[in-house]
Amino acid sequence: MIHPLPPSAPVQNEDIQAIRAQFPTLHQTVHGKPLIYLDSAATAQKPQAVLDALAHYYQQDNANVHRGAHALAGRATAALEATRECVRQFIHAADGAEVIFTAGATASINLVAATYGQAALQPGDEVLISHMEHHANIVPWQMLCQAKGAQLKVIPINERGELLLAAFSELLTSRTKIVAISYASNTLGTINPIKEMVKQAHAQGAVVVVDAAQAAAHLPINVQELDCDFLAFSAHKAYGPTGVGVLYGKKTLLEAMPPYQGGGEMIREVTLAHTTYNSPPYKFEAGTPNIAGIVAWRAALDFITAIGFPKLQAHEDALLTYAADLLQRIPNVRLIGTAPNKISVLSFVVEGMHHLDVGMLLDAHGIAVRTGHSCTQPLMDFLGIEGVIRASLAAYNTKEDVDRLAEAVEKIVKTHC
């Protein structure tokens, strides 16, 4: 993968073993075989520090946030706001007010569509997505376009799974109001040139919503450098708890946007006749959030920061290259998504076998992979396939995990093809 990071010293096996030791889920057998977890793009396993933080919160600090005068409420609020500050630093946002807690990437994208999108779109306007998007970055825009009489346009991709940037430039017009694009594809692994796309979109007056669901665990995110207007991601794909995520939005946009859900926390003053709204981020955080999840998320962010992206990328890139090399030597195996600039997601098909059968046979070997359309059905249609087998690699995966995957696939191909 090409990414402008300082080179890391080679990652030692002891480093990876020390990382693995922090993940209790990894140390089990499945169907009598040691578990090989290669489904982190669906959800990553959680380090002990995250599990401890969840337990600590419920054992010591459990209270509602922003609304109690007592000590526990103060501790819970401080812990929640500490995570907001951690996320701010993690994505290099200028202001904590730009970090809105949500239930995850899907919720964040829906929030933008239902607020900014509803307010900004007029009949005849256009929203631009790409052919490689996850359903979470397609359906909310389809729903919005239907509601507003706007048009959804699609940036095409090539067979390797790269965006056709010339086509993007041609599709961008003064009618384009929103560009919604994944930072990294969950099926292909492709990393998209967000900074360049933002520049072009802004020149036409469009805002850019970045789906960073897959990027957060693999790429350093700098929203100020990208200059994106919104950015969404979930905690759970980056070693954090499920049910928690973030929407980043530029403060000026958030201030001008209508609120999302109505309820407690998002108000300044309520009378039976009229309500005035709180300022961002609280304006978009109606009701009691997933406090425990948010508090424990901080431990996951600390886990990533402690390793550091240069080291993480050096490790994952080496594993990805090794895995791609081994798998493509196996007869009947075809890799899906071969762009040079990728996160550590390796999808493939076995010609003559259904992806679900391959997944179940791998499971019998103790190997957990994702099978199916991976919530990218339009991409499957473009590729002319029904589904893929997806192995996704994370900080805790080893060369031995990849060897076991390749051995198992080879055995399956020999027996069944």
Ligand X SMILES: Cc1ncc(COP(=O)(O)O)c(C=O)c1O
Which residues are catalytic, by number? 375
Q: Which is nearer to ligand X, 134 or 404 (CB)?
A: 134
Selected from 61, 125, 211, 401, the binder of ligand X by CB under 6 A is: 211
DSSP lists the bridge partners of residue 191 as: 184
Q: Does residue 40 interact with ligand X by CB under 6 A?
A: no
Query: Segment near ligand X (CB under 6 A), from 99-107, 168-176, 202-210, 392-400?
Result: 99-107
Query: Segment near ligand X (CB under 6 A), from 85-93, 101-109, 164-172, 220-228?
Result: 101-109
Q: Does residue 371 interact with ligand X by CB under 6 A?
A: no
CA distance 247 to 61: 26
Q: Which is nearer to ligand X, 77 or 110 (CB)?
A: 110
Q: Does residue 137 interact with ligand X by CB under 6 A?
A: yes
Q: Which of 280, 221, 224 is nearest to 251 (CA)?
A: 280
Q: Which is nearer to ligand X, 134 or 298 (CB)?
A: 134
Rg of the Cα atoms in the chain:
22
**Residue 231 C-beta: closest distance to ligand X, Å:** 12
Selected from 45, 83, 115, 186, the binder of ligand X by CB under 6 A is: 186
Q: Which is nearer to ligand X, 104 or 281 (CB)?
A: 104
- How many residues bind to ligand X according to rule CB under 6 A? 14
**Residue 407 C-beta: closest distance to ligand X, Å:** 28
For ligand X, what does the binding mask look like between residues 373 and 392, x meaning CB under 6 A?
--x-----------------
**Residue 15 C-beta: closest distance to ligand X, Å:** 27
CA distance 319 to 379: 25
**Residue 198 C-beta: closest distance to ligand X, Å:** 18
- Counting beta carbons within 10 angstroms of the beta carbon of residue 184, is it exposed (0 to 12), middle (13 to 18) or buried (19 or more)? buried
**Residue 40 C-beta: closest distance to ligand X, Å:** 11
Q: Which is nearer to ligand X, 182 or 397 (CB)?
A: 182
**Residue 134 C-beta: closest distance to ligand X, Å:** 3
CA distance 372 to 145: 28
- Say if CB 105 and CB 248 are below 8 A apart: no
- Say if CB 49 and CB 29 are below 8 A apart: no
Angle between helices 13-20 and 309-328 (to 10 degrees): 100
H helix intervals, 239-398? 251-256, 291-307, 309-328, 355-364, 377-383
Q: Does residue 77 interact with ligand X by CB under 6 A?
A: no
Q: Which is nearer to ligand X, 198 or 345 (CB)?
A: 345
- Say if CB 240 and CB 46 are below 8 A apart: yes
Query: Segment near ligand X (CB under 6 A), from 14-22, 64-72, 189-197, 211-219?
Result: 211-219
Q: Does residue 213 interact with ligand X by CB under 6 A?
A: yes
Give the β-pairing of 230-234 and 207-211.
Answer: parallel
**Residue 242 C-beta: closest distance to ligand X, Å:** 8
Q: Which is nearer to ligand X, 212 or 326 (CB)?
A: 212
Selected from 40, 45, 192, 234, the binder of ligand X by CB under 6 A is: 234
Q: Which residues contact residue 144 at a Cβ distance below 8 angstroms, ignoring those fewer than 6 apart? A: 113, 114, 117, 118, 121, 127, 150
**Token pair 């980056």: residue:** 238
Q: What angle do CA 219, 221, 225 make, to 5 degrees?
A: 130
Which two structure tokens, joined as six digits, stand for 284?
């978009």
Contacting residues toward ligand X, per CB under 6 A? 104-106, 134, 136-137, 182, 186, 211, 213-214, 234, 236, 375
